[in-house]
Amino acid sequence: MGNRRQQLAYLFGEGDEETLTAELRGGKGLGLDQLTRFGLPVPPGFTITSTAARARAQEGRFPQRIEWHVMRCMAVLEQRTGRKFGDPERPLLVSVRSGSKESMPGMMDTVLNVGLTSQTYGGLRREFDEEFARGCLVRLESQYRSAVFGGRNKPVPEDPSSQLWSSIAAVVDSWNSERARAYRLAHGIPDWWQTAINVQAMVFGNRGPRSCTGVVFSRDVRNGNPKLYGEFLPQAQGEEVVAGTSTPLPIEMLVDWDPNIYAELSRMVRFLEDRYNDIVDVEFTVEEGKLYLLQCRSAKRSAQAAAAFAVHEVWRDRLPRRQAIQRVSIEQVGELARKSFHSPAMTAATKRRFGTPRLFVKGLPASPGCVTGKAAFTSKEAQRLSREGESVVLFRQDTSPDDLPGMLASDAIVTAIGGETSHAAVVARGSGRVAVVGCKDLKFKNGKVSMSFFSNVREGDIVSVSGDAGQVFLGELPFASADLSKEARLFLRWTRRFGNKFTRSDRRIPFNLLKGRYSANTLLNDFYLTSAMTQMSRGSWLAYEARELEYKTHFEISRIFSCYLFLAIAGEVRFAPAYSSGSNEAISQLIKQFGFSFGGERSEKFNFASEYFNDLSLATQGEFVRLCSQVFKKRRWSSSFGGAKWAAIADALYDFLSGVTNPAVFIDRVFDLRHNGGSLFDKHIMFYEKTEEHYLRSQLDAKKRAGLCELYDALKAYHDDLSPDVRTLWDKGKTERLWKPKGGPK
């Protein structure tokens, strides 16, 4: 086993369970290996492990033994294809692609048709034709010069082995390209993972009239409908569909193009969805009537599609509800409550010829949602507007990985060309952005986007984008409530019942925090500053770090506040008037269910609550809070105790425990609660200082200010309290000049 761990290249279908990991072979290599083991049609190939790539990154070269491993695999490819690498008669051509543990679509280099030289060109031309051979050569030269020579116009080597090794090295080195680094920062992918490299025998979707290439999803990734969704391009090769440089045909038209291929592809995709128990994204090529699969991975999908698939899995008895909720990300749960445009206003704008709002352009609805914001035409301008707190709509002819920082800084993306599986569409869906692509009538000229002489958009103009309808409007459309599918509405009800994924398993009151001592001022500063820094850092290299710190901060503060409020409620409800009569049903239930005794000292109730409820379920803790809320609402209280203000406190905690509100909403609510005679966090042993009403109101008013710098100055004016992590992030952003006041630097 020790020797097998040193293996640096694995043929598809080779190796045991210990070596079948995404860490070693990357997601793409692992997927191709599994497809091969399933007996599906995959062009033969092999994966060079991430171990070899890490060695090159750390030492500047591959391990010496890698040459033997690669040549062994190339010999098997020759045997399985009946071709020979570098042979002038029947040449074997290969592709060299990346494949990290997590998918990084379009971020790294690819080189196709490796092995094509002046010697092998003649054999390819004689076997097929001049036009086909010439097209393959042009693609090799373009990709090789881009990946290996950095775009410089230098001749491609005539030696096939030199092409192969240079391409492998270039793909590994592209892990550290600017666009790849930006993507990893935005998605939390560690640098040390590195990438595996996949070398595979070429199949040609551009070989003739019965050839094509395409991408297909097992479900509609916009809404989760259980039908094939995707696109294909006849007589095309490699990356043309996903690159967004051409507008392909919808997958439904494959039925007319070749019904047998469509039926075969459908069977394979359904098989893979059942096998993976997930929506799958499959790349395929048809070479003169023969279907090949080139990749299978979990599909990026919209929030509606993710919720619909989770619900369908429950309906099919494949998952329990709690596990189904885990399939949908925290961000997607939030997206389900997104806004939509007011339908009558949208209809009127569609028909209006003059004035605003009016319809500007139509395209393909690639990622759902509705956004109103300022137009930007470059990645740099999108980042600038976002840092000023503006909502941004990025207009591009088409997008490339180089546009990623601007795309992540934008709320919506609009492109003139490209299909629903283009780079813009995939990034938008994967990052929760709205997208309309393939707006073929758009013209980019003289610093504006035009439809006609009388209809154009300049940078900074307000536009409204509907990713649901595939429409872009001039001006601002009013919003209405979201039009959710029945599956999405049901899913949201499930999250409210079971608690949403954001710290759902940790919503139980952590009574061990009672032993800690906290500063309310530090918590207030940390909470609002992390939220502001997350917004201001969008599109920058600090974006992921800011989002992670915001998550951590909100999580920790919500736990502190849930413990604090639970104990405070238990201490206050003891004053319930006429409690001994038992005439109130809620009071009776508190006595009967929990053995709660009214009256006594506040500290006694703190001890009772922390000991009695410590090992009880979240539902039981929530029921106690609910009953307390009923007591506060239904008894006549004096102005000094209980009553409506304490009912509001109990309701805030109950909504959090039951999953109705997320931590950010809960924390904000706690800070705005007015109780204990106006002094927040008074009479509570968890807090080592009081927050006076004057300071509290001033600090809470400061949160409404537009700029992060103003917010920081206002908060620190009272108590210069920040936790070390928040202070570190603030200093990093300040050094990079990200925290610019609205309107420019001071």
Q: How far apart are CA 438 and CA 422, in angstroms?
A: 9
Q: How far apart are CA 402 and CA 385, in angstroms?
A: 18
Residue 263: both structure tokens together: 């039926």
For residue range 631-645, list pLDDT tens digits in order: 888 767 776 677 777
Taken in order 607, 608, 610, 614, the sign of the CA dihedral is positive
Task: State the DSSP code for 210.
Answer: T
pLDDT attached to residue 499: 45
| Confidence band, pLDDT 50/70/90 cuts, at residue 334 | low
Q: How far apart are CA 532 and CA 387, in angstroms?
A: 10
For residue range 222-269, list pLDDT tens digits in order: 889 989 999 999 988 766 665 556 678 999 999 999 999 999 999 999
pLDDT attached to residue 676: 43
Residue 425 Cα to chain centre, angstroms: 13
Mean pLDDT of 98-103: 88
Do the beta carbons of residue 564 and residue 509 sit within 8 Å?
A: no
Q: How far apart are CA 488 and CA 494, in angstroms?
A: 10
| Confidence band, pLDDT 50/70/90 cuts, at residue 691 | low
More confident residue, 277 or 338: 277
| Confidence band, pLDDT 50/70/90 cuts, at residue 166 | very high
The amino acid present at 432, given as its one-letter code, is G
More confident residue, 336 or 63: 63
Which of 191-195, 574-578, 731-735 comes out lowest in average pLDDT? 574-578
Determine the Cα angle at 700 with ends 409 and 718, to 5°.
Answer: 105
- To the nearest whole number, what is the mean pLDDT of the chain? 83
481: left (phi over 0), alpha (psi -120 to 50) or beta: beta
Which of 194-198, 327-331, 594-598 comes out lowest in average pLDDT? 327-331
| Confidence band, pLDDT 50/70/90 cuts, at residue 717 | low
Residue 74: both structure tokens together: 């190339």
Tokens 């560690």, located at residue: 190
| Confidence band, pLDDT 50/70/90 cuts, at residue 440 | confident
The amino acid present at 84, given as its one-letter code, is K
Cα separation values, 75 from 43, 68, 84, 177, Å: 15, 11, 8, 32
For residue range 676-690, list pLDDT tens digits in order: 443 545 556 676 555
CB atoms under 10 Å from CB of 678, counted, come to 12
pLDDT attached to residue 242: 59
The predicted model scores a pTM of: 0.60
pLDDT attached to residue 489: 83
Residue 601 has pLDDT above 60, yes or no: yes
Do the beta carbons of residue 435 and residue 367 sit within 8 Å?
A: yes
pLDDT attached to residue 75: 97
Q: 37: Cβ–Cβ under 8 A, 6 or more apart, which residues? A: 13
